[in-house]
Amino acid sequence: MGTLNFEIDKRILNHIKSALKRRGLLMDPENEWEIHGPHEDMNYQVCIGIAYERLDYKIPCTCEQNNCLRHRDGFYVVIYPRAVYCIEDPDDWWKPKEEDKIPSVH
């Protein structure tokens, strides 16, 4: 597990943005995202972070997550190579449920 540094990990940042955009979602690159893999039992990487249905960059962040006007509509997602899932807790990244899969809109 590691925390992504989007200053360095531009390729992964673009992958996250693209996966979310196909599902009508956004990310705030100022938020912290994690990455897992590849390792012995998993030959791919997954990214875990908060996605938004809308995000107004003009609103200043007060970051109390649920009360912050900029970030109040966020929810955790895990991005697999070919799917994105909504998850309740970032520690649940390894056990997504099929019913929580977020379909592409494009």
CA–CA separation, 30 and 9 (whole Å): 13
Identify the pLDDT of residue 65: 58
One-letter amino acid for residue 103 of the chain: P
HEC profile for 39-51? ECCECCCEEEEEE
CA–CA separation, 50 and 55 (whole Å): 11
Query: Where does the pLDDT of residue 62 fall: very low under 50, low under 70, confident under 90, or very high at 90 and above?
Result: confident
pTM for this one? 0.87
Query: Where does the pLDDT of residue 68 fall: very low under 50, low under 70, confident under 90, or very high at 90 and above?
Result: confident
Q: Which strands make up the sheet holding 46-52, listed edge to edge?
A: 2-3, 34-36, 46-52, 74-80, 83-86
Question: Is 90 exceeded by the pLDDT of residue 56?
Answer: no
Q: Which long-range contacts (CB under 8 A, 24 or more apart) does 83-89 make?
A: 84/19, 84/20, 84/23, 84/25, 84/51, 87/48
The closest alpha carbon to 53, from 79, 16, 25, belongs to 25
Identify the pLDDT of residue 64: 65
Question: Is 80 exceeded by the pLDDT of residue 102?
Answer: yes
Map out the domains of the chain as residue ranges.
Answer: 2-100
